[in-house]
Amino acid sequence: MLARRAAVGRTGLFLLAFVAACVTARAVAAAETLEATGAIEGDQPAGRISRHLYGHFAEHLGRCVYDGIWVGEDSRIPNTRGIRNDVVEALRAIAIPNLRWPGGCYADNYHWRDGIGPRVERPHRINTHWGGVIDTNAFGTHEFLDLCEQIGADPYIAGNVGSGTPAEMRDWIEYMTFAGDSELANLRRANGRDEPWKIPYFGVGNENWGCGGNMRPEYYADLYRRFSTYCNEYSGNRLRRVACGPGGENTAWTRIVMQRAGDRMQALSQHYYTLAASWSDKRPATGFDEEAWFAILRDALKMEDRIVETVEIMDEYDPRGRVKLYVDEWGTWYRNEPGTNPGFLYQQNSQRDALVAALTFHIFHEHAERVTMANIAQTVNVLQAMILTEGPAMVLTPTYYVFEMYKVHHDAQRLPVTLTTPDYTFGDAAIPAISASASRDRQGAVHVSFANSHATQAVAVSLDLTGVNATSATGRVLVADSLDAHNTFENPNRVKPAPFDGAKIADGKLTVELPAASVVVLELK
């Protein structure tokens, strides 16, 4: 009995010591509140942030198109001409400006004639890149362009260079865009569409250094010249031809393609994925610790290096910056969720992905003169998705909410933000704790977005307002109860924006208390 009491006493002492240690740790943390300072230069507008930086990408991959977007006219899931109404409504709410389709790797294996005409007659093909599943071709050109009209997005079509021909590419463009009396335009009419569509963006191949044909840059540059020659503009359609650019750090590709074909393109594409791991052994999307939080955010910030190195080379061949850079695939790439087809690239999406999106947008804003389009991979059920679906159910991800909160920056005038930020150090590496971006919209309202990458520390930010006439700051915060917090079908509202009352303006200064691991968007009035 005595021994037992002694044991209880020891446990009690341990508990007391533990509580005291926690209180002390919290006091130390409070004493160490991090501070960032700087200014928003409202009198130095620095160019427009194209809304097309908020573009999307939907590939015939896993359950992105089939299930995620297309359920068919006979489905019990409410739909309009086969396209899910819940997904359309959610995408309309984030005002996605453009949508890239049908791939990705799928594009260089796609033959557009398979996807027109009566659906029952369309050929079934093997999706050789993504799980070897059968693609019924139920979702083709008309269905994609209907989707674009339903969500109000400009179509960005990726053409087939790898296994296609210049004639096939030429015919597709004529089929979609010619208003007159030609065989292909009449075929479109016979298939139910009288008026031509406008196709403002057309990709001449995708990742042709890899899945799009494993080409050398010299060979692709020649093919680009040949194929793009037949990318004709009909009936007032203005086509921006997009050449395949680098993935990762492939600067040799950029140089040769720009040197040999730069004068024939309106844009060069670039792909950059965040994985902070090897392609053969990726990280899980959830259930991670602070090391993984830090590693992914650090890797996401490398987007800036990739853009800078590409633009430097582009400048050598195009010093006036006529050719734009489209980052037409970006996002996090994790291990597929347990029990799912590895070829479907289905992954969860957590508060960490929200931070990746916010940091990436801030980088795009900084380079918005040259980087005028970007496409997150991918819209539904694949990689860093906005939306996850399971039968009739739909969940919006933390990344979705960043797109929703950042709508205020669409087509707004960028206002430079100077920032002295504390470091967020983990192990022997460090990244800036705070990232911020500001803009003024057409109505004159100023918006500021912040990302606090620090996993555990709040940061007090104080910014001088020059040329910004405002006395109040209101906004919303995206913050979660754990670093890997995510929305599930059982708990779909765990991570969503909430009103934010941590900002004020006094004496021409904006002060903001940014919670750890948060994204905040403010309107200054």
Q: Identify which of residues 329 and 484 has a Cβ nearer to ligand AHR in the complex.
A: 329
CB of 383 vs ligand AHR, minimal distance in Å: 6
Q: Identify which of residues 212 and 432 has a Cβ nearer to ligand AHR in the complex.
A: 212
- Helix runs in 230-274, H state only: 251-261
d(CA 301, CA 360): 7
Identify whether 89 is a catalytic site residue: no
> Is there a contact between 459 and 434 (Cβ–Cβ < 8 Å)?
yes
d(CA 14, CA 371): 57
CB of 189 vs ligand AHR, minimal distance in Å: 32
d(CA 340, CA 351): 22
Q: Identify which of residues 326 and 424 has a Cβ nearer to ligand AHR in the complex.
A: 326
Q: Identify which of residues 378 and 435 has a Cβ nearer to ligand AHR in the complex.
A: 378
Q: How many Cα atoms sit within 13 Å of 409 on the Cβ side?
A: 29
CB of 385 vs ligand AHR, minimal distance in Å: 11
d(CA 365, CA 384): 20
Q: Identify which of residues 245 and 502 has a Cβ nearer to ligand AHR in the complex.
A: 245
- Strands 154-159 and 240-243, bridge-based pairing: unpaired
CB of 157 vs ligand AHR, minimal distance in Å: 14
Q: Token pair of 213, please?
A: 């044909």
CB of 345 vs ligand AHR, minimal distance in Å: 6
H/E stretch holding 399 reads helix 398-405
- Strands 423-426 and 429-432, bridge-based pairing: antiparallel
Q: Which residue ranges make up the site for ligand AHR (CB under 6 A)?
A: 59, 103-105, 206-207, 329, 377-378, 383
Q: Token pair of 467, please?
A: 């040329």
CB of 211 vs ligand AHR, minimal distance in Å: 6
Catalytic: which of 59, 174, 329, 366? 329
How many angstroms separate the Cα of 131 from the Cα of each of 41, 105, 388?
A: 50, 12, 19
Q: Identify which of residues 59 and 135 has a Cβ nearer to ligand AHR in the complex.
A: 59
Q: Residue 202: name the closest of 250, 146, 130, 266 by CA.
A: 266
Catalytic residues: 207, 329
